Chains A and B, each alone.
Chain A
Amino acid sequence: MEFVYNHFPNLERSADQLLQSLVQTLQMVFGSGVISFCLGIFFGVCLVVMRRGGILQNIILYTVLEKTINVIRSVPFLILIIILIPLTRLIMGTTIGVQGAIVPLVIGTAPFFSRQVETAISEVDDGLVEASVAMGMSPLMIIWRVYLRESIPALARVTQITTINLISLVTLAGAVGAGGLGDFAIRFGHMHGMRDLMWITIAIILVMVSIVQGLGNIVIKKTTR
């Protein structure tokens, strides 16, 4: 402990704030992550099954969904947060803090993840789907037992990428009032000139990213045949 306080002189005073910021970051990553994961899987599956030749082909819905995703994805995240302020206030009742960050984080992440899920699921051989139709499976069964089940390694891979992306967005949201490690790094590390706290923040985020990476790799390894 002596060593830590010697090299990071400002840590002792700010430890509480740091811990609080970490909790906020984790809340934002988990909260928006889980919601984005569900939405992304849903819309990603929709894109695959509704496209031309899909098992629930619906060209109109597909086109609407596809264009919407493209439009949202092309808006930079910082601008997205600002234009979403009225919607965020409507849904969450506030635009700051962890609660205020969830809506823009989800809207910033889910479309990206949907695309990733679409790509992952598209890797499932059309022949497997045809064989399943021939077996008498309903579209819902095919989605569950074939599309999702057979693409678990690919889904783990894109979840990994998206989560790491999300961690970076959460940090960015800290700059505009969301709190968390991004906010901590800016306030203490930058504005108060406490460089040691900046390094600690980076180290914590590095650990988070490594954990995500490691967990993803385990899932991929266990499910790849």
Chain B
Amino acid sequence: MAVNMISLKNVSKIFATKYGNVRAIHNVNVDIVESEIFGIIGHSGAGKSTLIRCINLLEAPTSGSVVVDGEDMTTLSKKALCDKRKKIGMIFQHFYLMPSRTVLQNVMLPLKGANMPKHEKVKKAEDLLNLVGLSHRVSAYPSALSGGEKQRVAIARALANDPNVLLCDEATSALDPQTTTSILNLLKEVNAKLGITIVLITHEMAVIKEICDRVAVMEGGEIKELGTVFDVFATPQSDVGREFVASTTSLHKVYELIEKNSPLTQLASDEILVKLAFTANNAQETLLHDAATRFGIKTNIFFGNVEFIQGKPIGNLVVIVKGPQENIDNALNYLQENEVSVKVL
């Protein structure tokens, strides 16, 4: 039985500025389940950063409730809020390690004041640095570390108080693609080993695709759609969702070619251009070939792309279909009957 670790109910945040009130987030409702990796994607200014800050109350929501692990954050006393925040780790785009402290001291920082003998704190910090693969850099200062190493230290620091939740604020946006992958793998590993709930915000669909279980797509301070990463990739419901999904393939280039009347997309009178979308259920079958042989049409694959999301394939083909109109219609009907989504371009 899935338990909600984080529950946002009707959360809104309004910033008062010189130029009037700005509505950063509006009426957001999300339940994030224990031990899942939940992604929030949106363009800059969509409110995702404000939303993740509402979870540990770095930003106090203007209205609504934020329940983390059964406690409503908005009703806690200052002291209780500090204690609660120890159980919610957070990492940032720019790492924010303390420059005057060594790697080890940085990881021990959240343990200051904890009721624990010094040698246990050292042991704990060393174990965490071991977990993030940095046990050889304990006495280095942050200025001597690479971006990826800094983020690893930040992850170790965020885990120091054994939190139930890890918030990642654009944690990979300042890193190169290779380092991004290694940090995402580390987050996945931490999630699997410790069962910690991870909430991450990003503007890169590749990050969502790589590690998230579910994703919320934000725009204008609202959640436009929410679902498993596979569903959102296979059948995005919102315009912004479709746009993000398209951003991970070259599919949009095909549309550009069509718009520009490129010679590549010039069709003969008996040809049409069709986009076919396959999902897990039918991607392994020989549907296109079957349709061609059964209904006497010719197909020419103009563009093809297959993604594996959460281990399941999603395929997109843009195909030039050639043949008598009746045969083409029959073939397309056949494909639709087999749950291929067909769109004539």
Contacts and interface: CB of A to CB of B under 8 A. Distances in A.
Interface of A: 125, 127-128, 130-131, 133-138, 141, 145-146, 149-150, 152, 223, 225
B58 A225 contact: no
B85 A141 contact: no
Q: Is the interface of B mostly helix, strand, loop or mixed?
A: mixed
B337 to A, nearest CB: 53
A21 B113 CA distance: 48
B161 interface: yes
Contacts of B85: 133-136
A213 B157 CA distance: 37
Given A141-B113, A145-B109, A152-B100, A133 B86 contact: no
Given A135-B85, A136-B85, A136-B110, A130 B98 contact: no
Q: Which of A137, A141, A223 has the most CB of B within 10 A?
A: A137
A136 B100 contact: no
B98 to A, nearest CB: 6
A136 B57 CA distance: 11
A136 B83 contact: yes
A128 B95 CA distance: 9
A134 B141 contact: no
B169 to A, nearest CB: 9
Contacts of A128: 96, 98
Contacts of B157: 135
A225 B99 contact: yes
A137 B90 CA distance: 13
Interface size class of B (residues with CB under 8 A): 20 to 34
B96 A137 contact: no
Contact of B84 (A127, A136, A150, A225): A136
Nearest to B113: A141
The 7 closest A-B pairs by CB, nearest first: A136-B85, A136-B86, A131-B96, A134-B90, A127-B96, A136-B82, A225-B141
B94 interface: yes
Contacts of B100: 149-150, 152, 223, 225
Contacts of B82: 136-138
B92 interface: yes
A133 B99 contact: no
Interface string B79-112: 1001111101010101010111000000001101
Contacts of A152: 100
Contact of A131 (B83, B92, B99): B92
A131 to B, nearest CB: 4
B141 A125 contact: no
Contacts of B79: 138
Contact of B112 (A125, A131, A141, A223): A141
A134 B168 CA distance: 12
A121 to B, nearest CB: 13
A146 B97 CA distance: 11
Contact of B90 (A131, A146, A150): A131
Given A128-B98, A152-B100, A135 B58 contact: no
B221 to A, nearest CB: 21
Interface in B165-200: 167
Contacts of B98: 128, 146, 149-150
A225 to B, nearest CB: 5
Interface in B122-158: 141-143, 157
Contacts of A145: 109, 112
Contact of B58 (A130, A138, A141, A149): A130
Contacts of B109: 135, 145
A156 B130 CA distance: 36
